[in-house]
């Protein structure tokens, strides 16, 4: 999205401005019968920040074998063809603020003192990021996945939070 380009002399790797794969330790102690959102890959849109978390499941049914995330976390599809198709989104309005979903997600949690989740989303949801990532895919045909180190080391401009907000507000206005 051209409108997020900015004159910025500060570029940082995503692993400097975000946490990858947040730990399930955050939800230890929550009752197993607590309902949480469940988000299969089919519910993530292509090139669209928003998605609806339509399903709910008990924590005890999803805590093992699925990917954990919370409200405001970015979900990035890591498997082909979903990665190349731009499947990614920001988790919002999750049941009890907690979600689980496909093991084929890379979960990115913005460090909110440095960057907005939308700022990261709009940089990883570009043809530049996706095309660059194609050479960093591993596995066999039909089961190729983006190397998480490509994502972690991908550098984006980091203007002040105030400037990010101005540009994100402009994007929101243009999209409306």
| Per-residue pLDDT tens over the stretch 31-46 | 999 999 999 999 999 9
Give 107-140 pLDDT, tens digit per residue. Answer: 999 999 999 999 999 999 999 999 999 999 999 8
Q: Is the torsion defined by CA of 17, 20, 25, 26 positive or negative?
A: positive
Top-confidence residue, 174 or 97: 97
Q: What was the pLDDT predicted at 2?
A: 45
The Cβ of residue 10 has, within 10 Å, a number of other Cβ atoms equal to 9
Distances (CA, A) of 51 to 3, 47, 76, 93, 174: 22, 11, 12, 10, 19
Q: What was the pLDDT predicted at 62?
A: 97
Q: What was the pLDDT predicted at 141?
A: 74
Residue range 9-21: average pLDDT? 95
CA atoms lying within 13 Å on the CB side of residue 92: 9
Q: What was the pLDDT predicted at 6?
A: 55
Q: What was the pLDDT predicted at 7?
A: 58
* DSSP secondary structure of 103-168: TTEEEEEE-TTT--HHHHHHHHSSHHHHHHHHTTEESSTTS-EE-HHHHHH-EEE---HHHHHHHH
Whether residue 66 has a cis bond before it, omega within 30° of 0: no
φ/ψ region of 129 (left if φ > 0, alpha if ψ in -120 to 50, else beta) reads: alpha
Enter the pTM of the model: 0.92
Relative to beta strand 105-110, strand 18-20 is antiparallel
The Cβ of residue 93 has, within 10 Å, a number of other Cβ atoms equal to 11
pLDDT mean across residues, the chain:
93
Residue range 54-82: average pLDDT? 96
> 144 and 138 in contact (C-beta within 8 Å)?
yes
Task: Map residue 9 onto helix, strand or coil.
Answer: coil
Q: What was the pLDDT predicted at 3?
A: 46
């Amino acid at each position: 999205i051209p409108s997020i380009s900015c004159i910025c002399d500060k570029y940082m790797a995503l692993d400097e401005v975000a946490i990858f794969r947040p730990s399930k330790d955050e939800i230890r102690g929550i009752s197993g019968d607590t309902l949480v959102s469940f988000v299969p890959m089919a519910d993530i849109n292509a090139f669209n920040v928003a998605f609806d978390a339509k399903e709910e499941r008990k924590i005890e049914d999803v805590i093992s074998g699925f990917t954990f995330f919370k409200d405001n976390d970015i979900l990035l599809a890591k498997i082909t063809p979903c990665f190349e198709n731009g499947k990614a989104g920001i988790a919002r309005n999750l049941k009890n603020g907690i979600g689980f979903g496909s093991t084929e997600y890379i979960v990115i949690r913005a460090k909110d003192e440095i960057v907005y989740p939308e700022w990261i989303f709009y940089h990883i949801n570009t043809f530049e990021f996706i095309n660059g990532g194609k050479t960093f895919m591993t596995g066999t045909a039909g089961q190729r996945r983006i190397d998480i180190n490509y994502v972690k080391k991908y550098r984006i401009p980091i203007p002040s939070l105030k400037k990010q907000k101005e540009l994100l507000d402009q994007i929101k206005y243009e999209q409306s």
